């Protein structure tokens, strides 16, 4: 039987006894239990869903000290960040509670009968949205709370009326077990079926593949690497009955810093950007991996300022030794493809030093290997000769969670073209600040064209995340008893 | 060079000279022209889009006599149906004109800044939706107007702000050419780029594959067979940069007729259902291919009434000789899998006679070959012993555009379970009438779990069809000049 081990992220030492990976039988049992809870939960009302979500938030907060300590041990992300992430996780559970309670996503669209023949005449129709059924949720390594067992995918799926089976991330198995224990206590206290939120675990890909293949799973939600997400999506599509798969994958998050912005506040922006590059050891899906500059003295000075600011950053250890190896390999690949190294600070133990590389736009456009995400505290500067070259660079990136555009303050043809170019490839376009830090709000859009997401019309953060788990259904000439019910039909 | 030929659907005789299939160069030129028109159209306002859509509707109506005659020659669908379909096509062009003009799909969600740190505090954010870019639209054979060159996909994509490249259906190449000629006149009269609506054609799969593979194509919309749609979806997913693919595929549209309904009005329902099975020679994606009955005297009598009513139906020739061959093969497969033949009327020339077969639920559940759609004037009765067996049959069907449920007039546990079972697999659940005839309305949902659709959260008919071609984007801390613009950003 395959096992997985909790690792101290700072020392690389195993913690405690190895855990057993879920067997095929256990995966099947978890999905069967979720499916058995499906009708009950689909017909629950907003108040009941809100009560569960709030109790889960309360449980996280009540166990904060132990949870943060365990998370810190397994991820080395540090107590400040982890307390903040726990806050966010509780916040989004409560936000989805409020949304479920409001009933807005479940409101019906009434389309009364119109007398006469087609195309004008039609029968009475009602459009509403129904929960999909059990969701397979794949936890991420880099957000042990907010994109993990009780993260946004779980919160939004539960709010939509769907049971969840979590595939825990092997990077923090101890934390996942503890959170899952809290969940089970809450479910029991509320008299809800234990199977409403299930969990499976494993260090190999087999567990996730088995989960997404299960015939009773109705959708998948994933946050992680492009390779992992693409592989699971292929499995979801190859099922006898394909299902929606929401993968939030890789992103290099270009930052376009125009000369006007750099002239006005280059020194300040360099410090802000250096902080964003190194934040959380660069382990954010919105980490700014590409900085696009237009040749000129402001850009030259900014590069020097950025290099200096980055050198002072001291990243903490990466989440796993494997990520550290992949980071070094990614930087090496950029060097081999012709990028010049500006900052190559040496690391300490499992903590890498920050890196800054530079390449000209022509080279960037020629070598698609330079478009790959390097996960960690590193960024690649692309020097463009013109706005046209900046646009070509954005077009070559193709899909990104974010594009940041500093200095587009005036309505000019160039700025319009840049906004269009940024909007064409990104889910979120920022005109100030840095892309790290994804607010959980009504307007948030965390997604984008491939490879940012497998489903660019959807978001995995923000209120609209709930919509991923509801399917529209039209009821035609529905009987009075059915129309008298609110929310889901039966 | 490969060619395609216009065929007289009633005689099987070729009409006129063979047409050349589009070459690789022509496909590329059409997509390049659409891409070149993309920014212009994305930044057009609702009034401009409405003006185009209404002029296209007017052009169809002005040329009605010639268009219907040509369509009838190539499809044998008859002038009554074809005039009605042209009406519907003009109606939906005008409906999307009104929607574009209203601006509703392009409205922004304002999410003002909230002071303070995360998770509560956040910057100013605005959520809006932007057009995807050039859409590859694959026309269907069975709706030469409503799901063809100027059909719902084209109308909704144009209303959303996307150029369209149509892959014409080889079943009606003459009609497609004529409609495309009208389009070009309208575009010219309005001073719009000719490439805003392009068209390619070909009898082999190569043209469609080349089109969906083109790097400048941003989405695909398809109506047709499960096999064809699945193949194109696989190509869309295998692109270096996968794109959304909206395929409306096969469906067997179960009709569950409960004993209470049959006792009350079985004779009338038998006549209505027979008409729906044979309508348009059964060549509708909403054709009722499965009739689920619960054993009892009402069902026995209904089967006899239905068989009698079906025998009197006289279907017209099928769209193509290939479809006729496939229809015969589909019926034969059901017979070989153990279905008993109740009606096997002989056909006349290219017109098949209607067929009615019957099987018990156990057999249906055991043989997945009996779940396949048979495209044509035929239906399979499934005799169930209980409501539980009916639910098992619906679950085995898995995905369907529609489920019809006659007799669920009272609020009983059985009826609730049946509504739940129907809703779980269908995009539209009907409680009266027949599934053929898909109204173009606000509440319509024409889609459903696989194999009904590759994208069950979307619809290809009704107002929400437009949403398939808009992608949400969040603008963070956007400058004043950008916020002052309405609709798309630049």
Q: Which residue of B has its CA nearest to A476?
A: B430
**Is the CB of B400 inside 8 Å of chain A's CB atoms?**
no
Which DSSP letter does residue A468 get?
G
The per-residue pLDDT for B2 is: 84
Token output for A130: 């129904």
- Shortest Cα distance, chain B CAs vs residue A60, angstroms: 15
Residues of B in contact with A119 (CB under 8 A): 84, 87-88, 91-92, 439-440
Q: How far is B480 from chain A (nearest CA, A)?
A: 8
How many angstroms away from the CA of B477 is the closest CA of chain A? Answer: 5
pLDDT at B486 over 80: no
Kindly state the helix (H) or strand (E) to which residue A255 belongs, with its residue range.
strand A254-257
pLDDT for B18 beyond 90: yes
8 A C-beta contact, residue A51 and residue A190: yes
Question: Closest Cα partner for A458 from A237, A223, A298, A125?
Answer: A223
List, as one string, the DSSP characters of B419-457: HHHHHHHEEEEESSS-S-S---SSS-----TTTTBS-TT
Read off the pLDDT band of B310 (50, 70, 90).
very high
> Is A125 in CB contact (< 8 Å) with chain B?
yes
Helix (H/G/I), strand (E/B), else coil: B267: helix
Candidates B248, B298, B373, B389; catalytic one:
B248
A410 CB-contact burial (10 Å; exposed 0-12 / middle 13-18 / buried 19+): exposed
User: DSSP alpha helices (H): ranges in A206-360?
Assistant: 206-213, 226-238, 259-278, 297-311, 321-336
CATH architecture of B254-430: 3-Layer(aba) Sandwich (3.40)
Which pair of tokens denotes residue A154?
Answer: 């779980």
Task: Record the tokens describing residue B490, joined without a space.
Answer: 């630049």
Please tell me whether residue B254 adopts helix, strand or coil conformation: strand
Write out the two tokens for A353. Answer: 């030093």
Q: What are the residues whose beta carbons fall under 8 Å from the beta carbon of A132, sequence distance 6 or more? A: A160, A162, A218, A219, A244, A469, A470, A471
Across the strands, what pairs with A378?
A355
Tokens representing B320?
């193509």
pLDDT reported for residue A434: 98
Is A51 in a helix, a strand, or coil? helix
What helix, strand, coil percent values describe chain B, rounded to 5? 45, 20, 35
CB atoms within 10 A of CB A115: 7
B235 and B212 in contact (C-beta within 8 Å)? Answer: yes
Q: Which CATH class is domain A3-249+453-483?
A: alpha beta
* A84 → closest Cβ in B118, B451, B470: B118
Q: Which two tokens stand for residue B18?
A: 């063979």
Q: In chain A, which residue's Cα lies nearest the Cα of B128?
A: A443
Query: DSSP letter at B234?
Result: H
Calpha distance B488→B131 (Å, rounded) = 8
Map out the domains of chain A as residue ranges: 3-249+453-483, 254-430
Residues 6 or more apart whose CB falls under 8 angstroms from that of A314 comprise A278, A351
Note whether B119 contacts A87, CB cutoff 8 Å.
Answer: yes
Which chain B residue shows the shortest CA-CA distance from A413?
Answer: B490
pLDDT tens readout for residues A345-385: 998 888 999 999 999 999 999 999 999 999 999 999 999 99
pLDDT, mean of residues A296-301: 98
Q: What's the whole-number average pLDDT of chain B?
A: 96
Q: Given CB atoms, is B92 within the 8 Å cutoff of chain A?
A: yes
| Active-site residue flag, B285 | yes
Angle at B373 between CA B212 and CA B220, to 5 degrees: 15
Closest residue by Cα to residue A256 from A451, A367, A410, A407: A407
Say yes or no to pLDDT of B487 above 70.
no
Contacts 24+ apart (CB under 8 A), A207-213: A207/A21, A207/A22, A207/A27, A207/A167, A208/A136, A208/A138, A208/A167, A208/A232, A209/A235, A210/A24, A210/A27, A211/A27, A211/A31, A211/A136, A211/A165, A211/A167, A212/A136, A212/A236, A212/A239, A212/A245, A213/A239
For residue B39, pLDDT over 80 is answered with yes
Question: Can you list the positions of beta strands (E) in B268-333?
Answer: 290-294
Q: How many Å apart are CA A470 and CA A473, to the nearest integer?
A: 9
Cβ burial, residue B121 (10 Å; 0-12/13-18/19+): exposed
Do A439 and B119 make contact, defined as CB atoms within 8 angstroms?
yes
For residue A431, the chain B residues in CB contact (below 8 A) are 475-479, 482
| Residues of chain A contacting B242 with CB distance shorter than 8 Å | 450, 454
Dihedral sign for Cα atoms in the order A477, A483, A489, A490: negative
d(CA A89, CA A461): 11
Nearest Cβ partner of B127 from A419, A440, A445?
A445
Condensed to tens digits (0 to 9), the pLDDT of residues B398-456 reads 999 999 999 999 999 999 999 999 999 999 999 999 999 999 999 999 999 999 999 99
Alpha carbon distances (Å) from A90 to A62, A150, A183, A446, B66: 11, 9, 13, 19, 65
Which SS3 state, helix, strand or coil, does residue A343 take? strand
Return the percentage of chain B with pLDDT > 90, whole number: 96
> Residue A2 has what pLDDT?
84
pLDDT in tens, B315-368: 999 999 999 999 999 999 999 999 999 999 998 888 999 999 999 999 999 999
Contacts of B481 in chain A (CB under 8 A): 409-411
B370: nearest Cα among B416, B403, B333: B333
A385 phi/psi in degrees, rounded to 5: -90, -15
Q: What is the pLDDT of residue A488?
A: 56
Q: Is B392 near chain A, with CB under 8 Å?
A: no
CB B367 within 8 A of CB B333: no
The CA-to-CA distance between both ends of chain B, in Å, stands at 42
Q: Between the CA atoms of B448, B450, B456 and B458, what dihedral angle is there, to the nearest 10 degrees?
A: -90
Structural tokens at position B383 = 């005799």
pLDDT band at A489 (very low <50, low <70, confident <90, very high): low
Burial of B120 (0-12, 13-18, 19+ CB in 10 A): middle
Question: What tens digit of pLDDT does each residue of A374-425 get?
Answer: 999 999 999 999 999 999 999 999 999 999 999 999 999 999 999 999 999 9
Distance from CA of A16 to the nearest CA of B (A): 34
């Amino acid at each position: 039987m395959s096992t997985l081990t909790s690792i101290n992220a700072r020392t690389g030492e195993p913690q405690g006894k190895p855990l057993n990976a879920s067997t095929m039988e256990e995966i099947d049992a978890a999905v069967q239990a979720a499916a058995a809870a499906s009708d009950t939960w689909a017909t629950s009302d907003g108040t009941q869903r809100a009560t569960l979500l709030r109790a889960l938030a309360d449980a996280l907060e009540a166990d904060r000290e132990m949870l943060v300590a365990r998370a810190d041990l397994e991820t080395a992300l540090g107590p400040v960040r982890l307390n903040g992430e726990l806050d966010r996780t509780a916040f989004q559970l409560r936000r989805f509670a409020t949304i479920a309670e409001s009933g807005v996503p479940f409101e019906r669209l009434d389309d009364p009968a119109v007398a006469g023949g087609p195309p004008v005449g039609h029968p009475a129709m009602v459009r509403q949205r129904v929960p999909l059924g059990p969701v397979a949720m794949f936890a991420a390594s880099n957000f042990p709370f907010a994109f993990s067992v009780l993260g946004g995918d779980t919160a939004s799926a539960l709010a939509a009326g769907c049971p969840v089976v979590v595939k825990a991330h092997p990077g923090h198995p101890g934390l996942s077990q503890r959170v899952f224990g809290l969940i089970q206590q809450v479910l029991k206290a509320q008299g809800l079926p234990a199977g409403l939120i299930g969990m499976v675990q494993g260090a190999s890909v087999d567990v996730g593949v088995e989960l997404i293949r299960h015939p009773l799973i109705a959708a998948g939600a994933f946050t992680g690497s492009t390779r992992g997400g693409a592989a699971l999506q292929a499995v979801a599509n190859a099922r006898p009955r394909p299902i929606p798969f929401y993968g939030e994958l890789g992103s290099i998050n270009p930052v376009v810093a125009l000369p006007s912005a750099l002239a006005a506040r280059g020194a300040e922006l360099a410090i802000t950007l250096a902080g964003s590059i190194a934040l959380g050891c660069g382990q954010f899906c919105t980490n700014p991996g590409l900085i696009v500059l237009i040749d000129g003295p402001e850009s030259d000075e900014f590069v020097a300022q950025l290099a200096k600011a980055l050198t002072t950053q001291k990243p903490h250890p990466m989440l796993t030794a494997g990520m550290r190896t992949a980071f070094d390999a990614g930087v090496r690949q950029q060097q081999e493809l012709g990028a010049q190294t500006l900052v190559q600070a040496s690391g300490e133990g499992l903590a890498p030093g920050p890196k800054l590389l530079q390449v000209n736009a022509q080279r960037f456009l020629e070598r698609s290997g330079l478009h790959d995400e390097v996960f960690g505290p590193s960024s690649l500067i692309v020097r463009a000769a013109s706005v046209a070259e900046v646009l070509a660079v954005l077009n070559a990136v193709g899909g990104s969670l974010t594009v940041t555009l500093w200095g587009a303050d005036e309505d000019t043809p160039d700025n319009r073209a840049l906004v269009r170019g940024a909007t064409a490839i990104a889910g979120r376009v920022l005109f100030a600040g840095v892309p790290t830090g994804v607010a959980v709000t009504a307007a948030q859009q965390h997604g984008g064209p491939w490879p940012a997401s497998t489903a660019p019309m959807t978001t995995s953060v923000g209120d609209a995340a709930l919509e991923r788990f509801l399917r529209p259904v039209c009821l035609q000439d529905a009987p009075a008893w059915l129309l008298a019910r609110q929310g889901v039909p039966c």
